[in-house]
Amino acid sequence: MSAVQDLPTPALVVDTAAFEHNLAAMAAALPGDRCRPHVKAHKTTALARAQATRGHRTFTCATPREMEGMANAGLGDDLLLANEVVDPDRLRRLAALDARVTIAVDSEATIDAAARAGLREVVIDVFVGMPRCGCRAEEAGRLADAARARGLVVRGVMGYEGHVVGVHDRATRVEQTEAAMLQLLDAHADVGGELVSGGGTGTFDINTWVTEIQAGSYALMDTAYGHLDLPFELALSIVATVISVSESWAVADCGLKALGMDHGDPTVIGHTVWYCSDEHVTFGPETPVAVGDRVRVLPAHIDPTVAYHERMHLATDDDVVDTWEIDLRGW
């Protein structure tokens, strides 16, 4: 068994206590199929298997490769690709998987692509306030009819309130989630089917209108979600090595190629971040540091951070107890 202290850096490290707490908290709040964990946040079949052990056997994916990897890992009981794809080759590969595959559609073109590829099940993706994919609620019934006319089974609707999940004030989050979900329920009234899928880590206990929550970040968390009033703990950090120290600042080997930067700078625990460059984080030490010291870096946004790394290490205190390949990267 190796020690966190000896890992080559930068190294993604998962604190097992916080991780187990997060999985248990979600499994208690949304048992079984009430949570359809989103694998895009961690891209790791071993982590998905831990979620399955907690009772969640349905999963959400963002890319065809995530779907294929989950199916090939034996986690294909019920996989939802919560994204639109029109690439015929990829869609045919999805149709050929030994898994239950459902894909989001939001237009005649995506329905046509799914039907041509031999896919069998879809959900109608509905716009509920965030300008991204999704048809307007009033078009959902027509698209469901069009899909059924092409021989597809329409399992229901999905709509992601991505504009709400990060809202700090809980009362506002509740209000905006309701407004979004009433649109989704309108669509569902026209579409039918057993699934009303939506939500995320930020609305997992607020969004009571859906039949299932697509939460991803809850398992590992990040500083952006950490600012909300959620019962999940920061389980993931990046261990970095101090490589240079001068009078006013120090530098560790965790740069912006090891971090998603769209939510801004990371946090270096116990110190003050100045800025990141490709391979470095420059920080103001709040206590003296020396070359060779280790520091802990907390990413602002977990999804694009994990996507840069090849593996994550599970650590109990300073002992590395397992290492998981991040095997769902790419498209």
Shortest reach from residue 88's CB to a copy of itself, in Å: 10
| DSSP label at residue 77 | S
| Residue 288 preceded by cis peptide, ω within 30 | no
> C-beta of 286: minimal distance to a copy of itself in Å?
16
87 binds a copy of itself (CB under 8 A): yes
Asked if residue 245 binds a copy of itself (CB under 8 A), the reply is yes
Of residues 50 through 69, those in contact with a copy of itself by CB under 8 A are: 62-63
Sheet holding 195-198, edge to edge: 58-61, 78-81, 101-105, 121-125, 153-159, 195-198, 212-213
10: which DSSP letter?
A: S
Residue 266 interacts with a copy of itself (CB under 8 A)? no
- Interface map 157-186 toward a copy of itself (x if CB under 8 A): -----x------------------------
Q: How many residues bind a copy of itself (CB under 8 A)?
A: 57
- 266, 297 contact by CB (below 8 A): yes
Whether the CB-CB separation of 196 and 34 falls below 8 Å is answered with: no
Helices (H) and strands (E) in the chain, counts: 9, 16
> What is the rounded distance in angstroms from the CA atom of residue 136 to the CA atom of residue 125?
9
Q: Which of 22, 51, 58, 83 binds a copy of itself (CB under 8 A)?
A: 83
The one-letter code for the residue type at 26 is M
What minimum distance in Å lies between the beta carbon of 87 and a copy of itself? 6
What mask, x for binding a copy of itself by CB under 8 A, covers residues 105 to 134? -xx-xx----------------x---xxxx
**Gap between the Cα atoms of 313 and 37, Å rounded:** 21
Q: Is 251 in the site for a copy of itself (CB under 8 A)?
A: yes
d(CA 256, CA 141): 44
Matching residue, tokens 């073109």: 109
- Token couple for 266: 């990371």
Q: Return the amino acid letter for 177.
A: T
User: Residue 15 or 66: which CB sits closer to a copy of itself?
Assistant: 66
Pick 227 or 257: Cβ nearer a copy of itself: 257
In the complex, minimum distance from the CB of residue 5 to a copy of itself, in angstroms, rounded to a whole number:
12
Q: For residues 99 and 250, which CB has a smaller minimum distance to a copy of itself in the complex?
A: 250
Point out which residues bind a copy of itself (CB under 8 A): 8-10, 40, 62-63, 83-87, 89-90, 106-107, 109-110, 127, 131-136, 162, 241, 243-246, 248-249, 251, 253, 256-258, 260-262, 274, 276-280, 282, 290-292, 303-304, 307-308, 310, 330-331
